Structure 1
Amino acid sequence: MKITVLGAGVVGVTTAYQLAKAGHAVTVIDRQAGPALETSFANAGQVSFGYCGPWAAPGIPMKALKWLFEEHAPLIIRPKPDWAMLSWLIKMLANCSTERYAVNKGRMLRLSDFSRTALAEVRAETGIAYDSGMKGTVQLFRKEEQVEAMAKDVKALAADGVPYEVLDADGCIRIEPALAHVRHKIKGGLLTPTDETGDCFKFTNALAEKAQALGVVFQYGTVVKDFIISAGKLEAVVTDKGQQQADAVVHCLGSFSPFLLKRLGMKLPVYPVKGYSLTIPITDPSRAPVSTVMDESYKIAITRLGDRIRVGGMAEISGFTTDLPAARRRTLEHSVSDLFPGGDLSKASFWSGLRPMTPDGTPVIGATPIKGLYLNTGHGTLGWTMSCGSARHITQVIGGQTTDLAAEDYAIARYN
């Protein structure tokens, strides 16, 4: 088949690679000058197969009210007259029940575990290098109530057969020795040992080269304008450089996915949740993390990427702005310097990106009511984590194969 993939972030590139491996003729269209130049550029560096769950969780509404008055809040809302924002927030709040949290976390763990195997196979068959690490994530608790709240996550991990280890302060230091400097600040932790780390930008660019070797054509600097539909079937993509005929189109445009679909009468509840990161050169390895430490108090991940530390996190609901407020940088600096003091923050690079989030935290993967149009979007903070599994699944769906992943509840139909 002749297939067009919209978007050259990590989800689009992994999709193109899997489709090309399956024998399809693939073209990727992206408005940027190369792959992974938006959300995939400087994310937190986590590949979180075990540490994954929806932001919509029990207690979040009350916490959000409290966070309004905190300097280093993990969730920031900048209200504006935007119906899409209000609608998304209402849907997100509706998913904050215990029952919905269990369903949504189960979905996310199922896809993440599937993606873990898919990523391992991609790594084995390509040999690409991207500052990868395989030493897991330590979710670090500074408060007793965080330790107590861990029970619901442990229950979900156990139900899905995901390995984990409950840690006390000494256990956290055993996994991450540099935390010995701040032992008095640690109440406990949760280790998910199958989690990985790495530079998503490097991974995506290296995989794009492998995809090109398989015949994938990348059209950079090209803006998608519309679709041509005939008798309920997608016939072509309209760009600022002309039409692109296709037997199938896979829509991987992240936070910008709803705009084109709205023209087709489809309502996709994906909204940008802005995240921030710092990338800091390591000056003293004894005071740097070995893998990833997730600071649960601030929802900030501190990750080792070779000779750098990537500090990423926060969730800001503010529309499509990518500005860099000094207050957000101070929160990242506070978290990393409080747990791993001694780094040279003056040499850090500061970045922000828009994560495409659904109200329930689960991505939208699968066919649409329009024949030939498929979705692979809405992965939120877990785009890289879920990318290889999502790409394999959508490739099997397009090919009419029996899918390896039970994923009928990932498609856009769940919102109808």
Structure 2
Amino acid sequence: MKVTVLGAGIIGVSTAWHLLQRGHEVTLVDRQPDAALETSFANAAQISVSYCEPWANREAPLKALKWMFSPTSPLLFRPQLDPAQWRWGLQFLAQCNDAAFERNVAQLVALGTYSHAALKDVVRETGIEYQRLERGIAHYYVDQKSFEGAAAAAELMARFGVKRRVVSREELLRIEPALSSFADRIVGGTFTESDESGDARVFTQRLAALCAARGARLLFNHDIEHLDATGGALNAVRVRSRATGVLSALKADATVVACGSYTTPLLAGIGVRVPIYPGKGYSATLPLLRPDQAPVVSMIDDSLKIAMSRLGNELRVAGTIELGGFDLSLDTPLARQRGEMLVRRIEQVFPGVADTRLPAEGGNPRFWTGLRPATPTNIPLIGRLPVKGLWINAGHGTLGWTHGAGSGKALAELISGERPAMAFGFHGMEAARAARGAPAQASFSPGS
């Protein structure tokens, strides 16, 4: 069947790849000149199944209230005159309890495990190179109270088949000796050997090129103007070429919306509401000065909720969540503070290892920001929409790279009439069962 995929980030490209694998005719559309130039461009680089936890937990409301008054806090809520923001916030608060947290973790880990296996399959089939490091992810703590909670986190992950083990400071230093200069601040950590890291942008762009080689039609530099739907069915997608200005209609048997945070306004145009809101994240990519002293194990700093990953001769640090609408600015005072906080932390943890000079000091850190498409549960929406022929693959929050390959495979399976082999509540199919914590048993007809 003919399938149009809207959005060429890690989610859209993975979906396109798996559709091609099943014999479909695929058109991939994006407004940028290449794949992965928006949210997938410079993320934390982690494949972190062990960190598949939702933002919403019983401690989140109090922390969010406290953090509102700190410009460099891990989670910053910037109130807007936007009903969608407040509606999302209320839905988020409804998830801030232990029962919802555990229910959401179960689905996030199920998708993470499925996705990691799917990623390995793609790499084995294609030989794609993307600065992959299979060295695990270490999570370090700098205060005793937080470290005491690590055992509960590890136990929860173990119940879902993920081996995230608690380690002492001494063992953490054996796992990653590059932490030695920061050792006196660390009280302990956790380590998951099966996790890994790599450049999501490079992977996505190379997979998109392979999609083209297998016959996919890539419509880059095309804006998605609107969806044309009548009578409960999608007629066409109207796209406009940025090069020529020509407006054209794309007709297909199935259309996948994988536009990240922009999924929400696109679907609103045909009266479909989805609970996806942008969470602005920041990263800085720094050249290494002493590669031999730089970490090879990817890291999570618990106190600041930031991630650090080695990418060849560079070090990527990323994190923070800012709920303030579709703001991608990097040059405001707030944005500069949040970006500079990331760089300062690298210098504290790995002094002298990377060039952490700011632009005013003669340095050249590559700052970046992207909009994480977040749902209140952090569970992405994968499945069918209430418009015939229209499907969704969006809302992956901070876990787009972790969940990307599996989300693409699962939706391609659904469209093809197959049943993904995981317990997950697919949107428009098993959401009610999933809300009760029941395994997903998708029942559907292909392409509908």
C-alpha displacement of 1:67: 1.8
Deviation at 1:47, TM superposition (A): 1.1
CA contact (8 A) 2:385 2:427 kept: no
Matches of 1:411 and 1:41 in 2, distance apart?
Answer: 30
Amino acid paired to 2:422: L
Whether 1:331 and 2:337 are equivalent positions in the alignment is: no
Q: Deviations over 1:361-382 (max 9, x none)?
A: 1100011222211110000111
Report the equivalent of 1:184: 184
Are 2:312 and 1:306 equivalent residues in the alignment?
Answer: yes
Letter in 2 for 1:396: E
- 8 A Cα contact 1:139 1:295, kept in partner: yes
Contact 2:71 2:338 in 1 (8 A): no
Look up the SS of the partner of 1:40 in the other structure: coil
SS in 1 for 2:308: strand
Q: SS of 1:341's equivalent?
A: coil
What is the aligned counterpart of 1:344 among 355, 365, 385?
Answer: 355
TM-score if structure 1 supplies the norm length?
0.97
Contact 1:73–1:298 (8 Å) recurs in 2: yes
Q: Please tell me whether the aligned partners of residues 35 and 208 of structure 1 are also in contact (alpha carbons under 8 angstroms).
A: yes
Residues in 1 aligned to 2:429 and 2:48: alpha-carbon distance in whole angstroms: 24
Query: Which one is further off, 312-321 or 236-245?
Result: 236-245
- Pick one of 366, 391, 413 that aligns with 1:374: 391
| Kept in 2: contact 1:106–1:156 (CA 8 A) | no
User: What does residue range 287-306 of structure 1 map to in structure 2 within 5 Å?
Assistant: 287-306=293-312
Q: Which amino acid aligns with 1:169?
A: R
Distance 1:69 1:143 in 2: 22
* 1:72, distance to aligned residue in structure 2 (A): 3.2
Q: Is the 8 A contact 2:396 2:403 kept in 1?
A: yes
My pick for the range that moved more, 235-244 or 207-216, is: 235-244
Which has the higher mean CA deviation after the structures are superposed, 5-14 or 263-272? 263-272
Q: Could you say what the CA RMSD is over the residues aligned between the two structures, in angstroms?
A: 1.6
Aligned residue runs from structure 1 range 238-317, under 5 A: 238-240=238-240, 241-317=247-323
One-letter amino acid of the structure 2 residue matched with residue 299 of structure 1: K
CA gap 1:231/1:326 in 2 versus in 1, 3 angstroms: closer
After superposition, residues 5-154 of structure 1 pair within 5 angstroms as 5-70=5-70, 72-154=72-154
For 1:10 and 1:374, locate their aligned partners in 2 and report how far apart those are by CA, in whole Å.
Answer: 17
Letter of the structure 1 residue corresponding to residue 341 of structure 2: T
CA drift of 1:230 comes to 4.3
Counterpart of 1:395?
Answer: 412
The answer (yes or no) to whether the contact 1:140–1:296 under 8 Å persists in 2 is yes
Residue 358 of structure 1 is matched in structure 2 by: 375
Task: Report SS of the residue matched to 2:147.
Answer: helix
Map Cα deviations across residues 371-405 of structure 1 (whole Å, 9 max, x no partner): 21111000011111101111111011001112222
Verify the 8 A CA contact 1:115 1:388 in the aligned structure 2. yes
What SS is found at the alignment partner of 1:35?
coil
Deviations 1:173-192 (A, max 9, x none): 11110111111100111111
State percent identity of aligned pairs: 40
Contact between 2:151 and 2:166, CA under 8 Å: does it hold in 1? Answer: no
CA offset at residue 68 of structure 1? 2.8
**CA 1:45–1:146 in 2, change beyond 3 Å: closer, same or farther?**
same
Q: Work out the CA distance in 2 between the residues paired with 1:317 and 1:287.
A: 36
- Indicate the SS of the match to 1:347: coil
Residue 239 of structure 1 and its aligned partner are, at CA, apart by: 1.7
Q: Which runs of 5+ in 2 are unaligned?
A: 241-246, 357-362, 436-448
* Structure 1 residue 410 displacement after superposition: 4.7
Q: Given residue 312 of structure 1, which amino acid in structure 2 is its aligned partner?
A: A
2:403 is matched by which residue type in structure 1? M
**Residue of structure 2 in register with 1:224 after alignment:** 224
Alpha-carbon spacing, 1:53–1:388, altered in 2? closer, same or farther (3 Å): same
Q: After superposition, give the CA deviation of every residue in 1:61-85 in whole Å (9 maximum; x if it has no partner).
A: 1112222344531111221211111
**Secondary structure of 1:50's match?**
helix
- Alpha carbons 1:268, 1:412 under 8 Å: kept: no
Separation in 2, partners of 1:276, 1:414: 32
Quickly say closer, same or farther: Cα 1:154–1:282, change in 2 above 3 A.
same
- Indicate if the aligned counterparts of 2:154 and 2:163 stay in contact, CA closer than 8 A: no
Contact 1:136 1:196 in 2 (8 A): yes
Give the Cα separation in 2 of the matches to 1:286 and 1:71.
34
AA in 1 matched with 2:351: P
1:2 equivalent to 2:2? Answer yes
